[in-house]
C-alpha cells in the first residue's frame, strides 16, 4: 500500500533548516582555513566515484538537519518500497523497477507475484545474441550484405540515453559499425541522418516504449519508405523490412502491426520509465556498438550504485546526500537552476540526458496523493562540457547574482592521451585540461577579494568589476576513467539523486502527464495547418494568426 507523502515543510528538520538559513553566511574561505579536515570529512566514495562535497555550502549542522529531514520524510522506506517493486508510481499504478534491469542473474525479485529477474536476463540474452550477429556480420541485409550502419529511431528516453552513451563510449565502439539517431519529427533530422546511407547495409532499430509516439512512428514510416524505394522493385518488401527493421517496445502487438517480425522485437516492461530505460533493450543500438561484454559492464556500474544507495547509511550515501543538498539549494537558497559541467568531451550529451531524467521526473506541482506541493520543486538542469563552457556562460556562474550549484565531473585518465610537443617540451594536454577543472571549483569557492585585485595594480575604478565573491557551490565528481561501468555509475547516481528530491517533495517522480497536453493539441491543430478552415477558426486568435502566416509564406 502506498502511503501519503509527509509534508516536509511541517517537519522539525525543516524548521531547523529554516533557522539555519536565517543566520546563514557561507564563508568557504574561513571554513577551509579553520578546519583542515573539511575536505576529507565531506568527501565520499560510491563504487568508482570519488565525490567531494566540501566546496558545497554545507556545514556539519546543516548536514545533520538534512539527514534528519531524510529520516522524517521517510526516504529510506520509500527507497525500499521502490526497490521491492511497490507501486510507487501512483498516478500510473505501476512499480518503478529500473533497478531490476541491472540485477545479476542470480538475484530474485518478485513483483506482483512474478520473479522479474529471469525475464530481464532472457531479454538481455536475446539482445546480446542479436548484437553479436550484427557485429560479426552474420546478420545480413536483404541483399546479403553485412550491416554497417545502425539507425536508432526514438525520442525522449528512447533516444537520449542511447545517443548519450554512444557518444560517451566512443572509444569502445565497433570500428566498422556506425550508429545514427533520428528523433525529431522535423524532417531535417531524418533527411540528414539518412543522407549518404546505403540501404543494403543499414539496420533500423525502432525504439518506443509505447510504440505510439507520433515522432517515432512517423520517422519509422519515413525510413521504411526510404529503404524500400532505395532497394527497388527487385527486392521483396516484407523480407526487406524483416532484415532491416527491429523494434524495442513494451507493446509488441503494435510492433507486429507495423510489419516488424515479432522475432526481431525486444521487449521490456511497464515498470521501466522511458527516461530510466537506457539499460533495457532500449540500449540495443548501444549494445551493437560496444558489444555485449561492455554492455554488461555498463549494467554492472548501475548495479554498484544501486547497491550503494540501497545499503549505505544516509550519512555516507552519495546520491542521498547530493539529493538532500539540492533540496537545500532549491528550497532554502532559492537556486533555480543546476549546472552539470563534465570535463570530458565524450560526455557532451550528458547534460541533455539529465534534463529529461531530472526535469521530467521532478517538474511537478502536485504530490503523489493528489494534493498541491507545499514548496518549490525541480530545477532547470543545464550544462556543456568544460572547457567550452568556461568561454561561454561561466561568467554568470562566477559573478552573476544567482546561486547556481554546479556539478563538475572529471576523469583521471583521458580517452585520448595526447601530448603537445611543439615547443620542445612535452605537455600532457589532459593535465592542462584537468588544471582547468581544479581551478574552476577553486575560483568559484574562494573567489578573489578586493585586496587581492588591488595588489595586482588594478586601477581603482575597475576593482569591483574584478572581484569574485566566491562561495559559489560546486560538487566535484571524479573517477579513474570513463569506462562503461563508470558511465552506468554516473547515470544511476543521478537517478537516485532525482528520486531523493522527489521523496522530500512528496511527488511521483515517475509519471509525466505534463507532456500530454501539447501532444493532444498538435493532433487537433494539424488539420488547420494543412488548410482546414473550420479547425483553424476554432483556435485562439494568436494561433490563428500564426497558422495564417505559415500558410501565406509556405511555398
Ligand atoms: O515525452 C514523453 C515521453 O513519454 C517520455 O517519457 C518518453 O521517454 C518519450 O515520450 C518517448 O516515448 P516512447 O518510448 O513511448 O516512444
Give 486's contacts (C-beta < 8 A, 6+ positions apart): 48, 49, 301, 411, 479, 480
Provide the 8-state DSSP code for 510: T
What would the 3-class secondary structure string for 30-88 be? HHHHHCCCHHHHCEEEECCEEEECCCCCCCHHHHHHHHHHHHHHCHHHHHHHHHCCCCC
Contact 6, 506 (CB under 8 A): yes
Choose one of 157, 205, 255 to mutate for the ligand 1 pocket test, by most ligand atoms within 8 angstroms of C-beta.
Answer: 157
Ligand 1 proximity of 267 Cβ (cutoff 6 Å): no
Q: Residue 245: its pLDDT value, please?
A: 97
- At residue 526's C-alpha, the angle toward residues 523 and 532, to 5°, is 135
Averaged over 154-162, what is the pLDDT?
Answer: 98
Q: Region 153-165: what's the mean pLDDT?
A: 98
Give me the pLDDT at residue 2, please: 57
Q: Which atom of ligand 1 is nearest to the CA of 155?
A: 11
Ligand 1, atom 3: closest residue by C-alpha: 156
pLDDT of 203 reads 98
Give the closest residue (by CA) to ligand 1 atom 16.
208
State pLDDT tens for residues 393-417: 999 999 999 999 999 999 999 999 9
Name the residue of 152, 153, 210 to mutate for ligand 1: max ligand atoms within 8 A of Cβ: 210
Q: Is 242 a catalytic residue?
A: no
* Cα 162 from Cα 282, distance rounded (Å): 7
pLDDT of residue 518: 95
Is residue 249 within 6 Å of ligand 1 at its C-beta?
no
What is the atom index within ligand 1 of the atom nearest the CA of 275? Answer: 8
Contact 414, 170 (CB under 8 A): no
Q: Whose CA is nearest to atom 10 of ligand 1?
A: 156
Checking if the pLDDT of 473 tops 60, the result is yes
pLDDT at 423: 82
280 CA distance to ligand 1 centroid (A)? 14
Written as one string, the DSSP assignment of 102-129 is GS-TT---EETTEE-HHHHHHHHHHHHH
419-420 and 427-428 strand pairing = antiparallel
pLDDT on residue 238: 93
| Euclidean distance between CA atoms 162 and 164, whole angstroms | 6
Distance (Å) from CA 1 to ligand 1 centroid: 27
Question: How far is the centre of ligand 1, averaged over its atoms, from the C-alpha of 159 (Å)?
Answer: 9
Separation of CA 410 and ligand 1 centre (Å): 30
The rounded distance, in Å, linking the Cα atoms of 86 and 104 is 20
ipTM: 0.98
* For the CA of 274, the nearest atom of ligand 1: 8
- Which candidate, 322, 337, 302, places its Cα nearest to that of 485? 302
Task: Give the nearest ligand 1 atom to 277 CA.
Answer: 8
Query: Would you place residue 472 in the very low, low, confident or very high pLDDT band (cuts 50, 70, 90)?
Result: very high
How much distance in Å is there from the Cα of 363 to the middle of ligand 1?
Answer: 16
Which of the four pLDDT bands, split at 50, 70 and 90, describes residue 69?
A: very high
Catalytic residue among 167, 360, 379, 495: 360
Regarding the beta carbon of 157 and ligand 1, being less than 6 Å apart is answered yes
Cα separation, 316 vs 72, in Å, equals: 18
Distance 430 CA to ligand 1 centre (A): 37
Q: What is the per-residue pLDDT for 53? A: 98
Mean pLDDT of 118-131: 98
Give me the pLDDT at residue 60, please: 98
Cell 509505447 sits on residue: 210
Among 138, 176, 431, 519, the active-site one is 519
Compute, in angstroms, the gap from residue 155 CA to the centroid of ligand 1.
6
pLDDT in tens, 449-459: 999 999 999 99
Ligand 1 atom closest to residue 154's alpha carbon, by position in its atom list: 16
Average pLDDT value for the chain: 97
Residue 173 is given by DSSP the state S
360 is catalytic: yes
% the chain with pLDDT above 70? 100
- Ligand 1: which residue has its CA nearest to atom 2? 515
In angstroms, the Cα distances linking 242 to 17, 68, 160, 285, 520 are 60, 57, 26, 17, 32
Q: Residue 112: what pLDDT? A: 86
From 159, 213, 272, the mutation candidate for ligand 1 (largest count of ligand atoms within 8 A of CB) is 213
pLDDT for the residue numbered 3 = 76
Judge whether residue 1 has pLDDT over 80.
no
Catalytic residue (one of 25, 263, 311, 391): 391
CB 158 near ligand 1, within 6 Å: yes
Q: State if residue 385 touches ligand 1 by the CB under 6 angstroms criterion.
A: no
Nearest CA to ligand 1 atom 4: 274
For 311-363, write each residue's pLDDT tens digit: 999 999 999 999 999 999 999 999 999 999 999 999 999 999 999 999 999 99
Nearest ligand 1 atom, CA 160: 8
Q: Which three-class secondary structure state does DSSP give residue 464?
A: helix
Peptide bond into 387 cis (omega under 30): yes
Determine the distance separating the centroid of ligand 1 and the alpha carbon of 208, expressed in angstroms.
Answer: 7
Contact predicate 459/147, CB 8 Å: no
Ligand 1 centroid vs 161 CA: distance in angstroms? 12
pTM for this predicted structure = 0.97
Ligand 1 pocket check for 209: Cβ under 6 Å: yes
How far, in Å, from the CA of 288 to the mean position of ligand 1?
A: 22
**pLDDT tens track for 474-531:** 999 999 999 999 999 999 999 999 999 999 999 999 999 999 999 999 999 999 999 9
The per-residue pLDDT for 422 is 87
Amino acid at each position: 500500500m502506498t502511503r501519503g507523502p509527509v509534508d516536509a515543510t511541517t517537519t522539525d528538520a525543516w524548521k531547523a533548516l529554516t533557522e539555519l538559513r536565517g543566520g546563514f553566511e557561507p564563508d568557504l574561505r574561513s571554513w577551509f582555513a579553520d578546519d583542515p579536515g573539511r575536505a576529507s570529512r565531506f568527501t565520499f566514495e560510491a563504487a568508482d566515484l570519488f565525490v567531494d562535497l566540501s566546496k558545497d555550502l554545507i556545514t556539519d549542522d546543516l548536514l545533520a538537519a538534512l539527514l534528519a529531514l531524510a529520516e522524517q520524510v521517510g526516504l529510506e522506506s520509500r527507497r525500499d518500497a521502490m526497490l521491492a517493486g511497490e507501486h510507487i508510481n501512483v498516478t500510473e499504478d505501476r512499480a518503478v523497477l529500473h533497478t531490476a534491469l541491472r540485477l545479476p542473474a542470480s538475484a530474485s525479485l518478485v513483483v506482483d507475484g512474478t520473479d522479474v529477474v529471469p525475464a530481464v536476463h532472457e531479454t538481455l540474452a536475446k539482445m546480446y545474441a542479436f548484437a553479436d550477429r550484427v557485429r560479426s556480420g552474420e546478420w545480413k541485409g536483404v541483399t546479403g550484405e553485412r550491416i554497417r550502419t545502425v539507425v536508432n529511431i526514438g525520442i525522449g528516453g528512447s533516444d537520449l540515453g542511447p545517443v548519450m552513451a554512444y557518444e560517451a563510449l566512443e572509444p569502445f565502439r565497433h570500428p566498422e559499425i556506425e550508429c545514427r539517431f533520428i528523433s525529431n519529427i522535423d524532417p531535417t533530422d531524418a533527411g540528414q541522418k539518412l543522407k549518404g546511407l546505403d540501404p543494403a547495409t543499414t539496420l533500423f532499430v525502432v525504439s518506443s516504449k509505447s510504440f505510439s509516439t507520433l515522432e517515432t512512428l512517423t520517422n519509422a514510416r519515413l525510413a521504411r519508405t526510404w529503404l524500400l524505394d532505395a532497394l527497388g522493385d527487385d527486392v521483396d518488401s516484407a523480407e526487406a523490412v524483416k532484415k532491416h527493421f527491429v523494434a524495442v517496445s513494451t507493446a509488441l502487438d503494435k510492433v507486429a502491426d507495423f510489419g516488424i517480425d515479432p522475432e526481431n522485437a525486444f521487449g521490456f516492461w511497464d515498470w521501466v520509465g522511458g527516461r530510466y530505460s537506457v539499460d533495457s533493450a532500449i540500449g540495443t543500438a548501444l549494445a551493437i556498438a560496444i558489444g555485449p561484454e561492455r554492455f554488461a559492464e555498463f549494467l554492472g556500474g548501475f548495479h554498484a550504485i544501486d547497491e550503494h544507495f540501497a545499503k549505505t547509511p544516509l550519512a555516507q550515501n552519495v546520491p542521498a546526500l547530493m539529493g538532500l543538498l539540492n533540496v537545500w539549494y532549491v528550497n532554502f537558497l532559492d537556486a533555480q537552476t543546476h549546472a552539470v559541467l563534465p570535463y570530458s568531451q565524450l560526455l557532451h550529451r550528458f547534460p541533455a540526458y539529465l534534463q529529461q531524467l531530472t526535469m521530467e521526473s521532478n517538474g511537478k506541482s502536485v504530490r503523489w496523493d493528489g494534493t498541491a506541493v507545499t514548496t518549490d520543486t525541480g530545477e532547470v538542469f543545464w550544462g556543456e562540457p568544460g572547457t567550452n563552457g568556461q568561454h561561454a556562460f561561466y561568467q554568470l556562474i562566477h559573478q552573476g547574482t544567482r546561486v547556481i550549484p554546479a556539478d563538475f565531473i572529471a576523469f583521471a585518465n583521458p580517452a585520448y592521451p595526447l601530448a603537445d610537443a611543439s615547443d620542445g617540451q612535452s605537455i600532457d594536454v589532459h593535465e592542462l585540461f584537468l588544471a582547468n577543472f581544479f581551478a574552476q571549483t577553486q575560483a568559484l569557492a574562494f573567489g578573489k577579494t578586493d585586496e587581492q585585485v588591488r595588489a595586482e595594480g588594478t586601477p581603482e575604478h575597475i576593482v569591483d568589476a574584478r572581484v569574485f565573491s566566491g562561495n559559489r557551490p560546486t560538487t566535484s565528481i571524479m573517477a579513474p576513467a570513463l569506462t562503461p561501468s563508470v558511465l552506468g555509475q554516473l547515470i544511476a547516481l543521478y537517478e537516485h539523486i532525482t528520486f531523493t528530491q522527489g521523496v522530500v517533495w512528496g511527488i511521483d517522480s515517475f509519471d509525466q502527464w505534463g507532456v500530454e497536453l501539447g501532444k493532444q493539441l498538435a493532433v487537433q491543430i494539424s488539420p488547420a495547418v494543412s488548410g482546414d478552415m473550420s479547425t483553424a477558426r476554432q483556435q485562439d486568435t494568436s494561433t490563428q494568426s500564426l497558422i495564417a502566416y505559415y500558410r501565406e509564406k509556405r511555398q
